[in-house]
Amino acid sequence: MKLKIKGQKILGGEVEISGAKNSALPVMAASLLTEELYLKNIPFVQDIFSMKKLIEGLGGHIEINKNNELFINTASIASLEAPYDYVKQMRASILVLGPLIAKYGEVRVAYPGGCKIGARPVDLHLENLKKMGAEIKVEHGTIVAKASRLSAANISFEKVSVTGTENIMMAAVLAKGTTVIENAAKEPEVVDLANLLKKMGAKIKGDGSDTIEIIGVDTLHPVEYGIIPDRIEAGTYLIIGGLISSGLTIKNIRIDHIKNIISKLEEAGICLKIKKDFIKVKKIKKLNPIDIETQPFPGFPTDMQAQFMVMLTQAEGRSIVRDTIFPGRFHHVDELLRLGANIKKIGNGEVSIVGKTELSGAEVIATDLRASASLVIAGLIASGETIINDIFHLERGYERFVEKLQNIGSKIDYLE
Ligand code: EPZ
């Protein structure tokens, strides 16, 4: 499937941000810790349907309705295996590891392969589950984990890991004793999962800080829960508004989740009118070059790196972008060069961008979720027509992206 974009259309109007994909995935996995969950504000994107298929493959039943709600029943789990077919589609399948071993004492998950943004090891997930008493082997590409009952442990992550923290948190809530997680991830999606688990009866303190303390309980009960809005989707539309709109209102934002994105946009010269839960943004005349270095939350998010890179092609001067989390996450660069950008690799995980360069439309290919968003942004500002191949990447994490862009005036459409 391809996308065709006719660039340089001035956009305007309102965009509503959907639920956070990276909250929905661990929250759906948490349904395996109880009998049922009623989830709201779930974005209907490909990754959610992959997780739905995985949970159904384990024996769960999931109903969805048109109001972005999921009803998950996991009372009769019949299998404890997440086969390679599921895991190869979505690395986040690893999130069933913690819940299944905590609730059922065993699990088999295919070892996740790499992906376009670089090596995606899960060693920290496995070594920390071992510290909680799990017996873990890797046989023929499958992680085989067993534990009669997990016991609490003092866990310290040598590297901050979002899904690593989420997996250990979901393992610890039913483990005997008090687990302490040091160097925990502080992303809003980790806090969202902790809030769900607390509502289910878990005893968790310190989520959102470096140190999370979890006192194990015997059971967790079913609840209804609405997840947070997607901070990366919000950041993506803020850039679109700052580059090519006469006035965009982006609604349903948790401002406290995007302070790092806001400060970098303002440093680049984009003026934002920030209200309680929405932001007004419009195109400005001159953009300043800025330097960006990705860091775990509350630092600048790696998931915004590709989108900012497009914006920096329009800044007058030289910008530097470093991705310290995924140094290989630069496949969008080659495609942006095809559109006329002036970008050079200057080190491992580091590029320089010199602007302002007029981008001109061309045929390009999407390589991963956030790279595909950066190519859409480039197509919106480039002269002429841009064709984007392999846009299934886009469908993984942006709900109704084409429809939302059409609603604010862009000339974008699917090409068979
Ligand atoms: C989560 O991935 C997100 N995915 C990613 O979003 C996001 O880019 C990433 O966090 C960083 O913020 C979900 O939440 C589903 P990590 P995750 O474990 O948890 C190294 C998107 O576009 N590491 O925080 O897989 C790893 O190599 C996706 O929505 C180990 O070395 O990332 C990386 O350098 C892309 N060993 C760093 O830690 C491990 O066992 C951070 O990775 C685990 C991670």
Task: Dihedral sign for Cα 213, 215, 219, 225, please.
Answer: negative
Determine the distance separating the centroid of ligand 1 and the alpha carbon of 385, expressed in angstroms: 34
Residue 230's pLDDT is: 98
Determine the distance separating the centroid of ligand 1 and the alpha carbon of 125, expressed in angstroms: 11
Instruction: Name all residues whose Cβ lies below 6 A of ligand 1.
Output: 21-22, 25, 92, 119-125, 159, 161-164, 189, 302-303, 325-326, 369-370, 397
Token look-up 């956070």 returns 20
E strands along 149-209, which residues? 154-156, 178-182, 203-205
Nearest-atom index, ligand 1, CA of 301: 12
261 touches 292 (CB < 8 A): no
Task: For ligand 1, atom 35, name the residue with the nearest CA.
Answer: 303
Residue 149's pLDDT is: 87
Give the Å distances, CA to CA, from 50 to 45, 303, 400: 9, 20, 17
Determine the distance separating the centroid of ligand 1 and the alpha carbon of 147, expressed in angstroms: 25
Gap between the Cα atoms of 123 and 128, Å rounded: 8
Gap between the Cα atoms of 337 and 357, Å rounded: 11
Banded model confidence at residue 398, pLDDT cuts 50, 70, 90: very high
Beta bridge partners of 106: 146
Burial code (b: 16+ CB inside 10 Å, e: under 16) for 98-121 equals bbbbbbeeebbbbbbeebebbeee
DSSP states of 232-291 as a string? Answer: HHHHHHHHHHHHHEEEEEEES--GGGSHHHHHHHHHTT--EEE-SSEEEE---S-B---E
Separation of CA 131 from chain center = 27
Q: What is the pTM of this model?
A: 0.97
Q: Does 217 have pLDDT greater than 90?
A: yes
Residue 120's pLDDT is: 76
Give the CA angle between residues 276, 400, 407 to the nearest 5°. Answer: 70
Annotated active-site residue 271? The verdict is: no
Q: Does 172 have pLDDT greater than 90?
A: yes
Amino acid at 91: R
What mean pLDDT comes out for the span 16-27? 98
SS3 113: coil
Beta bridge partners of 16: 251
227 touches 23 (CB < 8 A): yes
Gap between the Cα atoms of 300 and 236, Å rounded: 13
Work out the mean pLDDT of the chain and round it to a whole number: 96
**For a substitution probing ligand 1, which of 18, 21, 22 has the most ligand atoms within 8 Å of its CB?**
22
Determine the distance separating the centroid of ligand 1 and the alpha carbon of 120, expressed in angstroms: 7
196 touches 169 (CB < 8 A): no
Q: Does 96 have pLDDT greater than 70?
A: yes
Q: Which helix (H) or strand (E) holds 21?
A: helix 21-29
Nearest-atom index, ligand 1, CA of 47: 15
- The string of pLDDT tens digits covering residues 311-358 is 999 999 999 999 999 999 999 999 999 999 999 999 999 999 999 999
Percent of the chain at pLDDT exceeding 90: 94
**Mean pLDDT lowest among 41-50, 106-115, 255-264, 296-305:** 106-115
Q: Which helix (H) or strand (E) holds 188?
A: helix 188-199
Q: Which helix (H) or strand (E) holds 131?
A: helix 123-131
Residue 94's pLDDT is: 95
107: its two tokens: 């699990």
Nearest-atom index, ligand 1, CA of 118: 27
Determine the distance separating the centroid of ligand 1 and the alpha carbon of 163, expressed in angstroms: 7
**Overall residue count recorded for the chain in this entry:** 416
Banded model confidence at residue 285, pLDDT cuts 50, 70, 90: confident
**For a substitution probing ligand 1, which of 325, 348, 401 has the most ligand atoms within 8 Å of its CB?**
325
Residue 113's pLDDT is: 73
Q: In sequence order, which residues have a C-beta less than 8 Å from that of residue 225 and are 6 or more positions away?
A: 27, 37, 38, 39, 40, 195, 196, 199
Determine the distance separating the centroid of ligand 1 and the alpha carbon of 162, expressed in angstroms: 6
Catalytic residue among 115, 136, 217, 387: 115
30: its two tokens: 């948490």
Q: Does 39 have pLDDT greater than 70?
A: yes
Nearest-atom index, ligand 1, CA of 95: 15
331: its two tokens: 């496949």
Gap between the Cα atoms of 185 and 120, Å rounded: 16
Banded model confidence at residue 26, pLDDT cuts 50, 70, 90: very high
87 touches 109 (CB < 8 A): yes
Residue 21's pLDDT is: 97
Percent of the chain at pLDDT exceeding 70: 100
Banded model confidence at residue 199, pLDDT cuts 50, 70, 90: very high
- The string of pLDDT tens digits covering residues 106-160 is 999 998 876 677 777 899 999 999 999 999 999 999 999 999 889 999 999 999 9
Gap between the Cα atoms of 303 and 316, Å rounded: 24
Helices 162-172 and 123-131: crossing angle, nearest 10°?
Answer: 20
Beta bridge partners of 91: none
Q: Walk me through the domains of the chain, giving residue ranges and CATH numbers.
A: 2-18+229-415 (3.65.10.10), 21-226 (3.65.10.10)
Residue 388's pLDDT is: 97
Residue 114's pLDDT is: 67
- The string of pLDDT tens digits covering residues 380-396 is 999 999 999 999 999 99
Query: Which of 93, 73, 181, 71 lies closest to 131 in space, CA to CA?
Result: 181
